[in-house]
Amino acid sequence: MPPVPDNQAEAIAATDSGVAQFPNLFSPLAVGPLTLKNRIFVTGHMTMMVTGGVPSEAQAAYYAARARGGVAMIVTEAAAVHETGLRGGKVISAIDDACIPGYARIVEACADYGCPVLGQLFHPGREMTTAPDGSLLAAYAPSAVRSDRFHVVPRALPRALIREIVAGYSDAARRLQRAGLAGAEIVANMGYLPSQFLNSRTNRRDDDYGGSFENRLRFLREVIADIRDKCGGGAVLGLRISLDEASHDGMREEEVGEICCALDSDGTLDYFNLIGGSSSDAAGSLHIAPPMSVANAYLAPAAGRLKARLRAPVFLAGRINQPQEAERVLEQGQADLCGMTRATICDPEIANKARAGWLDDIRACIGCNQACIGHEQRGYPISCIQYPESGRELIYGSLPKAEAPRRVLVAGGGPAGLKAAAVASARGHDVTLYEAGARLGGQVLLAQELPGRAEFGGLAANLAREVETAGVRVVLNATVDRDLIASEKPDAVVLATGARPYRPAIEGAEAAHVVEAWDVLKGEANVGSSVVVADWRADWVGLGVAEKLARDGCRVRLCVNAAVPGESLQQYVRDHWAGVLHGLGVEVIPYARLFGADEDSVFFVHGASGAPLVVEDVDTLVLAQGAAPATELETELADYDGEVHVIGDCKAPRTAEEAVLEGLKAAAEV
């Protein structure tokens, strides 16, 4: 198959040979006054590209890439409808007309691709965070019921403020309509304000907004009625709601089903958009962006049960990463439209590729959460570790062809080298990639060996496919040195030689049984029955090795040089893993900096107090102490007068995200 740059959706869409394979996925769907061209849409999600409370040019370019890629509909991120719900950070404010031009820009950017745009209407209620200056905001909710995750004690809403907020929803919806959006979606999922009114555990009011089932529905019904009154029947109006909030005080499937049936019978909503989870605690928030440890399309059975009771179309999201999964959900009647948000962050053209039958060229999301919601939660624009062009469309969305093709030599077939080679070749350069080992992938090949992490191997598989389709010449089992470079005479050299395990000085280690985590993953270490994992990086290595050895029947103590294990990982990945380790009986010792070892003990120093920590009755010490850059080739080329780019872990050991991003940057520069 000839290589086609990912940003040229028109070329991919020139054929529709995949339609026969996905007859449901590529059938139209009526939603209110709209007719959608297929069954794939982008759900509302925070992009962190908002500037000054209004949608930005970068946001418009981001959504346009997904529209060009063939999705049927886009729902933009949550917009605050009232000043009491305006959380800090880069959040759209729809409480005045300043948002209208930015929304109009998004609509215009998507219009040429037959992709209608809707906007989300949002109030967090008790799920309040900080103000822009970092101070804590006052939270308002139906009742003064605390939120565990953000440790918030809300104020009970007075009736006058309830009326203001109801009007805020409808006024915001009218602004979206004036900007040209096709409609609005009320955010009632994840335990946000409308859900807090619906839920008897969080709504303890004794007036006509609380108590009975009908009273608890009153707030949401008033919001819907007011929007219909101000926007009319020509605008689409939907509801996003969690099928099961999966939190200690959240609503369960049967409760949500009764609510949806009641609202459906009103005939005022054009669709129900289903998801799972709640923002209120660690167990529920996992479902905001379920990681790879959660099964694909895991909510489909529950969605199917509810869909059978409703007349309005049902949308569904939650780990639907591939067109085959979406087709299965649709075929089994479990939903009418599939939200594939992270799938489109990873591959904006997934819809067009599926329609064209180019399934092997789909860059499948691996559910790592690192650069999408991981970026969002740290206040940075979202992206993707596999496709760093996402969120950077204005910079890398359409790289130019090389004016003069050059010979490029890439040393190293890990994520950094693979990305550099694929993009450089796609730009028209003559690229050869040399890999010292027998397989492409680098450390990804280790990561995929951990329990529940096999999907991470998709990173290597996807990049290897891009290298293949871009026409890169690949040479395996070949170590690059100065002589090889001299014989090849490349115009540019890209060093992506990776890293190796870092081994610190350990007092007394000669008397202890010490092995590397990497060797454990490769099955090359003899590990005893009582194990200490010394985890310096607080990332997936320590957690994963601890889980693997616990499942193998070992007694495991995870000693981490951080406040919590997995401290460097995205919150939902870390929280879920912590629960798994707890269930396996792994003992976690935080603030533990490795010092020494002997034949049956390991010695640590408490990172905060400096006091000694002694772990006894140890057979094996497993080192997860991070990595050291492999700089031998860089040193050998110190006086080389040619063009050299150093990327990835051989530049500085970090993560796959930085490796792939630096591969992209190098390829853009050569």
3-state secondary structure of 233: coil
- 32-75 pLDDT, tens digit per residue, is 999 999 999 999 999 999 999 999 999 999 999 999 999 999 99
CATH of 400-501+632-669, one of 1.10.3210.10, 3.30.230.10, 3.40.50.720, 3.30.70.360: 3.40.50.720
CB < 8 Å & 24+ apart, contacts of 455-460 = 455/292, 455/366, 455/367, 456/292, 456/366, 456/368, 458/364, 458/366, 459/366, 459/368, 459/385, 459/386, 459/415, 459/656, 460/415, 460/418
Q: Which residue has the higher pLDDT, 133 or 495?
A: 495
What pLDDT sits at residue 9? 52
Cα–Cα distance between 198 and 433 in angstroms, integer? 58
Give the residue range(s) of CATH 3.20.20.70 domains in the chain.
Answer: 24-336
Q: What's the pLDDT band for 11 if we cut at 50, 70, 90?
A: low
What pLDDT sits at residue 132? 80
What pLDDT sits at residue 14? 63
Phi, psi for 73 (deg, rounded to 5): -160, 150
Q: Alpha-carbon torsion 574, 580, 582, 588, what sign?
A: negative
Q: What's the pLDDT band for 437 if we cut at 50, 70, 90?
A: very high
What pLDDT sits at residue 1? 32
What pLDDT sits at residue 90? 87
Q: What's the pLDDT band for 15 if we cut at 50, 70, 90?
A: confident
* Predicted model pTM: 0.95
Q: What Cα–Cα distance (Å) separates residue 250 from each residue in 20, 142, 240, 281, 453? A: 42, 15, 16, 10, 29
Cα–Cα distance between 195 and 124 in angstroms, integer? 10
CATH of domain 24-336: 3.20.20.70
3-state secondary structure of 226: helix
Q: What's the pLDDT band for 233 if we cut at 50, 70, 90?
A: confident
As a whole-number percent, the residues of the chain with pLDDT over 90 amount to: 95
| Mean pLDDT across 124-144 | 93
Q: For residue 12, is pLDDT > 70?
A: no
Q: What's the pLDDT band for 6 if we cut at 50, 70, 90?
A: very low
Under DSSP, the state recorded for 278 is: B
Q: Cβ neighbours of residue 463 under 8 Å, at least 6 residues apart?
A: 386, 415, 418, 419, 422, 440, 660
Give the residue range(s) of CATH 3.40.50.720 domains in the chain.
Answer: 400-501+632-669
Give the residue range(s) of CATH 3.50.50.60 domains in the chain.
Answer: 509-625
Whole-number mean pLDDT of the chain?
A: 96
Q: For residue 130, is pLDDT > 90?
A: no
Cα–Cα distance between 354 and 617 in angstroms, integer? 55
CATH of domain 509-625: 3.50.50.60
Q: For residue 495, is pLDDT > 50?
A: yes
Q: For residue 7, is pLDDT > 50?
A: no
Least confident of 12-21, 224-233, 566-575: 12-21
Among 20, 52, 25, smallest CA distance to 37 is for 25
Please say whether the beta carbons of 125 and 209 come within 8 A: no
